[in-house]
């Protein structure tokens, strides 16, 4: 194991330990359905290649998950809702941290409330001051494939396309720094 891989592993291990001590785990929501798409080499666990999808952001960009692997760029998927106080806490902390990582990591916030539209999401993003974060309306297929049942669910996907971290709960500044450093160095 190279020093770089060891450092990434240590950073991610530290993040897991710290997040295990986080008091709130976000709001639990009812699953969209009980089907989770799991193929032989894809899945929603650490070390697996996550299910591919294409989504339109509220700003009109088309994002395809597989293209991030092709471009050797990490991505953070964050599942949230405007009514979630824990998401609001996460966004209040990350808005000051993410800008220094924005060139190296894409941050995609996918709304898990299928009743929230692009206008509501855009107003929320602007109110929170979340420049650089890509926001998208939820898609039932994505929520189902990723087994999303909680707000604040995070999937950190490394440059090679593998899931490096999966978890939920409110992060403090140190946890966000560890997560973004791990992604940049993946």
Residue 154 pLDDT > 80:
yes
CA distance 83 to 186: 33
Helix, coil or strand: residue 33: coil
Average pLDDT over all residues of the chain? 84
CB of 107 within 8 A of CB of 76? Answer: yes
Q: In the chain, what are the domains?
A: 3-184 (3.40.30.10)
Please tell me the pTM assigned to this model.
Answer: 0.80
> Could you tell me the sign of the dihedral formed by the alpha carbons of 83, 89, 92, 98, in that order?
negative
Helix, coil or strand: residue 77: strand
pLDDT in the model for residue 179: 97
pLDDT in the model for residue 5: 52
For residue 74 the two structure tokens come to 């990490």
pLDDT digits (tens, 9 = 90+) for 35-64: 444 444 678 999 999 999 999 999 999 999
Q: What is the pLDDT confidence band of residue 22, given thresholds at 50, 70 and 90?
A: very low
CA distance 13 to 112: 27
pLDDT in the model for residue 37: 41
């Amino acid at each position: 194991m190279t020093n770089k891989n060891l450092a990434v592993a240590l950073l991610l291990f530290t993040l897991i330990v710290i997040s295990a001590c986080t008091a709130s785990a976000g709001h639990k929501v009812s699953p969209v359905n009980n089907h989770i798409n799991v193929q032989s080499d894809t899945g929603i666990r650490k070390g697996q290649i996550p299910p591919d999808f294409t989504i339109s952001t509220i700003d009109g960009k088309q994002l395809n998950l597989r293209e991030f692997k092709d471009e050797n760029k990490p991505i953070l998927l964050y599942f949230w809702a405007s009514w979630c106080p824990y998401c609001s806490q996460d966004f209040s902390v990350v808005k000051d941290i993410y800008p220094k990582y924005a060139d190296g990591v894409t941050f995609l916030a996918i709304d898990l409330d299928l009743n929230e539209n692009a206008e509501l999401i855009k107003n929320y993003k602007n109110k929170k001051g979340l420049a650089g974060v890509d926001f998208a309306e939820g898609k039932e297929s994505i929520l189902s494939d990723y087994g999303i049942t909680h707000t604040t669910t995070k999937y950190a996907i490394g440059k090679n396309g593998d899931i490096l971290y999966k978890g939920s709960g409110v992060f403090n500044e140190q946890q966000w720094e560890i997560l973004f450093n791990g992604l940049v160095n993946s």
